[in-house]
Amino acid sequence: MTKKNTIWNRLLDTILPRHCSICDSRLGFDEKAICGSCATRLPRTHYELTADYNPMTVLFQGIVPIEKAVAFVHFNPHNASARLIYAIKYYRHPDYAMAMGEIMAKELLSSGFFNNIDAIVPVPLSRRRLHQRGYNQSEYLARGVSKITSIPVITKALRRKHFLQSQTMLGHTERQKNVENMFVLRDASALSDRHILLIDDICTTGATAMACIQEMQVAKNIRFSILTLGLTDH
């Protein structure tokens, strides 16, 4: 960042101060989405230490083939991560998603989680949902990860056909039925012979990720890993 841009950004930050998405305190100039205090209190899973076998990978065993799976934080409606994730998902803060993608990537880099990943695919939204929300939060998470890792993001190969019902209030079986045949692979060649990292905001039962992977398996010689910002406590 040039000196001129730094001065401008500091001035802008003075005029339009940014606030922590969790505690609402004013962010420091170098802080993004969350303040340093809240960042240290996020309920991290540390699944990157056992990325090939942990409570998240167990969700997919025997259903779809994955090599690694990591959720960055535990999620429930009452912990510190909930307000952050709700701000990203429902309150028009793609900037928070981008920032959290960067934060996740920085913290996971030293574990080797991104080794051998060739491309990132964010879970797509339907056109209707994209129009309502104005952005795909999973894509912004992916672009934040890409900014740190330089792994390319592919957004055109997989498409969500339509939006039927939010997964939020559905049970395990209902979630699976809700996303059956929901995705279509538009460009198998873009994913063939690659290790794909599928990125989403929240994993609850894994139904959405499973549906994406089942469709992407059409591509030749493809491998899968998964990264989400949160995993719902079961």
Q: Which residue has the tokens 């080794």?
A: 115
The three-class DSSP label of residue 201 is: strand
- Please indicate, yes or no, whether residues 4 and 116 belong to a single structural domain of this protein: no
- Does one domain contain both 33 and 126? no
Q: Are 208 and 199 in contact (CB under 8 A)?
A: no
Given this model, what pLDDT does residue 205 score?
A: 93
Q: What is the CATH number of the domain that holds 96?
A: 3.40.50.2020
Which residues on neighbouring strands pair with residue 224, listed in sequence order?
196
- Residues 143, 112: one domain? yes
Whether residue 138 sits in one domain with residue 25: no
Identify the domain containing residue 30 by its residue range. 1-37
Q: Are residues 109 and 188 in the same domain?
A: yes
Domain count, the chain: 2
With contact defined as beta carbons under 8 Å apart, do 41 and 79 qualify? no
87 vs 33, 60, 137, 220, CA distance in Å? 10, 28, 10, 38
Query: Are residues 117 and 190 both part of a single domain?
Result: yes
In this structure, the answer to whether residues 11 and 56 fall within a common structural domain is no
- In this prediction, the residues of the chain whose per-residue pLDDT falls under 50 are 1, 3-5, 8, 167, 170-171, 175
pTM, full prediction:
0.88
Looking at the fold, whether 126 and 178 belong to one and the same domain comes out as yes
Claim to verify: residue 177 and residue 219 sit in the same structural domain: yes
Which pLDDT score, from 0 to 100, does residue 179 have? Answer: 65
159 & 89 share domain: yes
The answer on 168 and 59 residing in a single domain is: yes
The confidence score (pLDDT) of residue 36 equals 94
Q: What is the pLDDT of residues 127-184, one digit of tens each?
A: 888 989 999 999 999 999 999 999 999 999 999 987 555 545 544 555 455 566 799 9
Structure-derived torsion over alpha carbons of residues 156, 162, 165, 168, reported in degrees to the nearest 10 = 0
Tell me the C-alpha distance between 112 and 41, whole Å. 23
Whether 100 and 184 share a structural domain? yes
d(CA 203, CA 211): 13
